[in-house]
Amino acid sequence: MGTPRHNHCCLCGAPRRATQKPLESFGNDVECITIGEHRPLKEGRWEISPQLLVSVQMWRNGGTARGETHICDDCVVVGLKAAKRFVDESLAALGSDPT
């Protein structure tokens, strides 16, 4: 029958470490930020208690199969670097210090 697909990274083919569970996606789910804790709230806004939902998600092209696919740590790092580049470039374009 061959080697189970989750024994190797579905992206680069690196073997999955024995201590690592199969990882089919990676992200922070959704962080709910209460804007009033970061900025003064002004009249004229739509929301009484505005919240911003922020999410970073990654999964492989082709979908996921819980317990059957795997993304290795090094491929997750590639994705996080791409997300960081997007954030840094967006902050720069908005005139904000990325630190």
Residue-wise pLDDT for 47-88, tens only, equals: 899 999 999 999 888 766 777 788 999 999 999 999 999 999
> How high is the pLDDT of residue 21?
82
Structural contact between residues 56 and 31, judged by C-beta atoms closer than 8 angstroms:
no
Among 6, 11, 8, 95, CA closest to 61: 11
pTM of the predicted protein model: 0.80
Could you tell me the two tokens for 37? 């804790």
What DSSP element (H or E) covers 72? none
pLDDT exceeds 60 at position 1: no
Q: What is the pLDDT of residue 72?
A: 92
